[in-house]
């Protein structure tokens, strides 16, 4: 029945870097296995992650635009730390409640309209979700999970023994006094087992009694301390629970605001709820009633430490509280340097470098059974693809390795080599021809055919759409290949896919488009670029990538990269061919150029 455990993870709504860093410093100090913040919702950020320190190192916490996206990606995170402003905090909470999957929602904003707050709290209660706040710094389960800024700096946390569980269950309204009391409890007893500052607004989600009843069931909590305040009648519910035997552990309590009686009229303290509307809402009345119910109530706030010490010693003498061994802690370094570069694909720091975690020797030699397709799947996609997929990748590379000396890129590479340039320079000039007309239509083909398929466009609708876009359909058309002179590379790729792919739905769609384009002109076939782009989408779909991830691959130019790698083999071959033959510098025959230059005298 603990509120939080060492495995609890939160989604943090708003990229509040200081508060999140404090949580992660806490995690590192108490040696948590996983960071307590699993995701951040940052609706206006275009970034995908935020870097934070985890001890001396840095970790990347993913950023999402919506709570729904964050929750879908991190379903285990069952705490929402709602750091939205008072204008949006209500909507954020309601959305999370409707999404489901959250056990606790903490709301920091102060000043959510009271009518909305009441509805929100009631809805949370119906859904069995604990709301901490609004208007709070949150709560802590020492040694397990700490919300944002509660407890203050890491030094203060360790001084107040909030780095490991003690025996007291602490509930306050105020966050400032929560910190103060943590310190008092650390000095006069053995620290707290669980603590919640329920918030200062008049209508807060979980109230004193909710927290105390939960702590009653938490075996780590041996006694409880309630710091109430003038205004409201929540303390009377605690009195009733004690009378009904629902709370049996010792309770220490004090209601602050006893000074209010020295003023002529009702005093409003800092919190919206801190004002007595009737005699029984005054601090004095509540303190007396609590004392009568058997609660340990000090004579004044100044005597509270002594009462805490008394209760602690008594429970210790009875053996209910035993001495807590101090755990070993990590120390957060004072000076930390943020890293400039990030690498998520390979690591050369150990004895042997790795590709996405796999030592090179585990993929390099033939006995590993791995090929270049496996290396690409590890280094480009950080995954180990199944055999049919790595074999498809290899089939693509082998298929596009070369297409003779006359094609744009090979021609360029040959001319450069003959101008006396090096292998790398000649190769690069060849690669630079890869683009929307030559070899680089793969991304475009995937993008447009996927768009048409996603939007259920019929082939004529698709052609019309492309006309509107004003570009030739990427992946359609060839200079020399046609229906009469079919491209056997395309046949090979299609046959491979038909035999090994779980499904080829985008290819099937593209072939219906090809029927239409070839009926207009017989060289408007689905070309090798188009076939590769479309089949890669079919491959990723079969590998269960989301449509969003596939779109991202396309946008980042991943597909053309297959042609780049494959065709580099051919270009290098042509360059070496030129060098082997010691070919002289090339000059294009002038009779192959149409000169159409105007005469100066005509100007």
Where does this chain bind ligand ACO (CB under 6 A)? 437-439, 441, 472-479, 521, 523-524, 527-530
**Looking at beta carbons only, is 490 or 575 nearer to ligand ACO?**
490
Position 491 contacts ligand LMR (CB under 6 A): no
| 296-325 footprint of ligand LMR as x/- string (CB under 6 A) | ------------------------------
Q: For the chain, how many helices (H) and strands (E)?
A: 22, 16
Nearest distance, CB of residue 388 and ligand ACO, angstroms: 24
How many of the other CB atoms lie within 10 Å of CB of 125? Answer: 14
Among 479, 491, 546, 581, binds ligand LMR (CB under 6 A): 479
**Looking at beta carbons only, is 236 or 448 nearer to ligand ACO?**
448
Say how far apart CA 72 and CA 66 lie, in whole Å: 10
**Looking at beta carbons only, is 59 or 565 nearer to ligand LMR?**
565
Residue 86 has which token pair?
């008072």
Residue 580: strand, helix, or coil: helix
Say how far apart CA 251 and CA 65 lie, in whole Å: 44
Nearest distance, CB of residue 569 and ligand LMR, angstroms: 12
Residue 477 binding result from ligand ACO, ligand LMR, none, given CB thresholds of 5 to 8 Å by partner type = ligand ACO
Residue 217 has which token pair?
């069931």
Query: How many CA atoms lie less than 13 Å away from 60 in the CB half-sphere?
Result: 12
Residue 17 binding result from ligand LMR, ligand ACO, none, given CB thresholds of 5 to 8 Å by partner type = none
Residue 468 has which token pair?
């509107």
Nearest distance, CB of residue 79 and ligand LMR, angstroms: 54
**Looking at beta carbons only, is 218 or 527 nearer to ligand ACO?**
527
Residue 154 binding result from ligand ACO, ligand LMR, none, given CB thresholds of 5 to 8 Å by partner type = none
Residue 454 has which token pair?
């996603």
Nearest distance, CB of residue 438 and ligand ACO, angstroms: 4
Nearest residue by C-beta to ligand ACO? 477
Position 564 contacts ligand LMR (CB under 6 A): no
Residue 475 binding result from ligand LMR, ligand ACO, none, given CB thresholds of 5 to 8 Å by partner type = ligand ACO
Nearest residue by C-beta to ligand LMR? 403
Residue 383 binding result from ligand LMR, ligand ACO, none, given CB thresholds of 5 to 8 Å by partner type = none
Nearest distance, CB of residue 489 and ligand ACO, angstroms: 9
Residue 142 binding result from ligand ACO, ligand LMR, none, given CB thresholds of 5 to 8 Å by partner type = none
Distances from the Cα of 506 to the Cα of 187, 399, 452, 465, 546, angstroms: 69, 20, 10, 18, 15
For residue 74, give every residue at least 6 positions away whose Cβ sits within 8 Å of its Cβ, in sequence order, or none: 9, 11, 38, 39, 62
For residue 494, give every residue at least 6 positions away whose Cβ sits within 8 Å of its Cβ, in sequence order, or none: 507, 531, 535
**Looking at beta carbons only, is 382 or 464 nearer to ligand ACO?**
464
Residue 118: strand, helix, or coil: helix
**Looking at beta carbons only, is 378 or 525 nearer to ligand ACO?**
525
Q: Is 163 a catalytic residue?
A: no
Q: Spell out the SS3 assignment of 319-369.
A: CCCCCCCCCCCCCCCCCCCCCCCCCCCEECCCCCCEECCEECHHHHCHHHC
Write down the catalytic residue from 163, 271, 478, 574: 271
**Looking at beta carbons only, is 330 or 408 nearer to ligand ACO?**
408
Query: How many CA atoms lie less than 13 Å away from 489 in the CB half-sphere?
Result: 20
Helical pair 528-542 and 442-454, crossing angle rounded to 10 deg? 60
Strand 49-54: give its sheet, edge to edge.
Answer: 49-54, 57-64, 37-41, 10-13, 79-82, 104-107, 130-132
**Looking at beta carbons only, is 118 or 521 nearer to ligand ACO?**
521
Contact 434, 564 (CB under 8 A): yes
Residue 524 binding result from ligand LMR, ligand ACO, none, given CB thresholds of 5 to 8 Å by partner type = ligand ACO
**Looking at beta carbons only, is 374 or 402 nearer to ligand LMR?**
402
| 395-424 footprint of ligand LMR as x/- string (CB under 6 A) | --------x---x-----------------
Of residues 202-231, those binding ligand LMR (CB under 6 A): none
Residue 48 binding result from ligand ACO, ligand LMR, none, given CB thresholds of 5 to 8 Å by partner type = none
Phi, psi of 476 (to 5 degrees): -120, 135
Residue 144 binding result from ligand ACO, ligand LMR, none, given CB thresholds of 5 to 8 Å by partner type = none
Contact 439, 400 (CB under 8 A): yes
Residue 69 has which token pair?
């996206």
Position 528 contacts ligand LMR (CB under 6 A): yes
Say how far apart CA 356 and CA 370 lie, in whole Å: 14
Catalytically annotated residues: 271
Q: Which residues bind ligand LMR (CB under 6 A)?
A: 403, 407, 439, 479, 528
């Amino acid at each position: 029945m603990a509120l939080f455990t060492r495995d609890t993870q939160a989604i943090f709504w708003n990229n509040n870097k200081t508060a999140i860093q404090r949580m992660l410093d806490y995690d590192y100090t108490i040696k948590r296995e996983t960071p307590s913040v699993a995701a951040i919702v940052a609706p206006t950020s275009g970034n995908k992650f935020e870097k934070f320190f985890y001890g001396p190192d840095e970790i990347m916490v993913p950023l999402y635009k919506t709570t729904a996206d964050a929750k879908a990606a991190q379903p285990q995170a069952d705490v929402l730390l709602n750091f939205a402003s008072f204008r949006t905090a209500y909507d954020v909470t309601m959305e999370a409640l409707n999404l489901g999957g959250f056990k606790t929602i903490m709301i920091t904003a102060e000043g959510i309209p009271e009518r909305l707050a009441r509805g929100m709290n009631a809805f949370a209660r119906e859904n069995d979700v604990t709301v901490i706040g609004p208007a709070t710094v949150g709560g802590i389960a020492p040694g397990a999970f700490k919300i944002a800024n509660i407890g203050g700096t890491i030094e203060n946390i360790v001084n107040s023994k909030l780095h490991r569980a003690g025996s007291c269950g602490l509930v306050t309204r105020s966050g400032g006094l929560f910190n103060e009391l943590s310190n008092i409890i650390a000095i006069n007893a053995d620290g707290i087992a669980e603590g919640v500052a329920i918030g200062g607004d008049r209508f807060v989600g979980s109230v004193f009694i909710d927290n105390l009843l939960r702590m009653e069931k938490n075996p780590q909590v041996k006694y409880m301390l309630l710091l109430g305040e003038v205004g409201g009648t929540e303390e009377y519910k605690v009195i009733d629970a004690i009378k009904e035997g629902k709370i049996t552990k010792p309770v220490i309590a004090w209601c602050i605001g006893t000074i209010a009686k020295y003023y002529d009229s009702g005093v409003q303290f800092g919190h919206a709820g801190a004002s007595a509307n009737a005699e029984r809402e005054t601090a004095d009345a509540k303190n007396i009633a609590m004392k009568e119910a058997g609660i340990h109530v000090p004579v004044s706030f100044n005597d509270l430490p002594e009462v805490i010490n008394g209760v602690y010693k008594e429970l210790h003498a009875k053996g209910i509280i035993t001495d807590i061994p101090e755990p070993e802690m990590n120390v957060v370094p004072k000076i930390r340097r943020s890293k400039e570069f990030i690498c998520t694909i390979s690591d050369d720091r150990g004895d042997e470098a790795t590709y996405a975690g796999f030592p090179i020797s585990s993929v390099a030699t033939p006995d590993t059974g791995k090929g270049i397709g496996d290396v690409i799947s590890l280094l480009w996609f950080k995954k180990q693809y199944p055999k049919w997929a790595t074999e498809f990748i290899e089939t693509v590379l082998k298929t596009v390795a070369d297409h003779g000396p006359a094609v744009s890129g090979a021609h360029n590479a040959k001319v450069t080599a003959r101008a006396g340039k090096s292998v790398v320079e000649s190769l690069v000039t060849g690669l630079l021809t890869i683009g929307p007309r030559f070899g680089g239509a793969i991304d475009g083909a995937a993008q447009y055919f996927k768009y048409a398929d996603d939007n259920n466009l019929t082939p004529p609708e698709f052609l019309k759409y492309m006309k509107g876009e004003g570009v030739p359909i990427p992946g359609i058309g060839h200079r020399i290949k046609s229906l009469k002179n079919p491209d056997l590379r395309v046949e090979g790729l299609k046959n491979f896919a038909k035999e090994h792919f779980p499904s080829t739905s985008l290819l099937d769609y593209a072939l219906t488009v090809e029927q239409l384009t070839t009926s207009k002109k017989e060289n408007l076939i689905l070309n090798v670029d188009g076939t590769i782009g479309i089949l890669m989408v079919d491959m990723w779909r079969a590998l269960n990538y989301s449509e969003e991830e596939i779109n991202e691959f396309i946008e980042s130019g991943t597909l053309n990269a297959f042609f780049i790698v494959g065709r580099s083999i051919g270009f290098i071959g042509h360059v070496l061919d030129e060098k082997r033959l010691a070919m002289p510098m090339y000059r294009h025959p002038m009779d192959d150029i149409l000169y159409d230059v105007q005469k100066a005298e005509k100007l």
